Amino acid sequence: MSDDKNLNDDLNDMLDDAKDGAKEFASDAKEKASEFAEDAKEAASEFADSAKEAFTSATGDNKKVLAGVLGIVLGWAGVHKFVLGYNKEGAIMLVSSIVLYFLTCGIGTLVVSIIGLVEGIIYLTKSDEEFYNTYQVGQKPWF
């Protein structure tokens, strides 16, 4: 009987040690996860700040490339128009895409996508000076 009691006490001690170890491990893991989350938040904040700074300072060639690529990739949404400050034209493209999508089961959106694709290619093939004078100074909203 005393062997059973000693064995039971040993098992209880081992169980208590395991519980304490698990609690300590969970506490350490929680602390590490919290530190990782803080680091991730800081990195995301720095990235957002640098992206915002790059977007707001984009002029000339940078805006040309950004508008051209967005025209090719997201031309259906008119995003390239918003980048250049043509909000009315961008809204027209976006609303047209949405309306045509529902009216023609997506086929009509292809027309607006082609317009964005053509404009993106035009933007990228113009010289920096010509792009700047035409679209940023001259404010030519279409093609």
What is the number of domains present in the chain? Answer: 2
Domain C-terminal end among 40, 57, 74? 57
Tell me: pLDDT of 59 over 70. Answer: no
**Block residue for tokens 């040690």:** 17
Q: How far apart are CA 143 and CA 108, in angstroms?
A: 20
| Number of other residues whose CB lies within 10 A of the CB of residue 107 | 10
- Domain that includes residue 51, residue range: 1-57
Q: Are residues 42 and 63 in the same domain?
A: no
The answer to the question of residue 142 being in a domain is: no
Higher pLDDT, 86 or 46: 86
Q: By C-alpha distance, which of 86, 94, 62, 100 is closest to 138?
A: 86
> Do residues 67 and 129 share a domain?
yes
Which residue, chain included where needed, has tokens 């893991």?
Answer: 29
Both 53 and 64 in a single domain? Answer: no
In this prediction the pTM is: 0.54
Contact 72, 113 (CB under 8 A): no
Q: Is residue 89 part of a domain?
A: yes
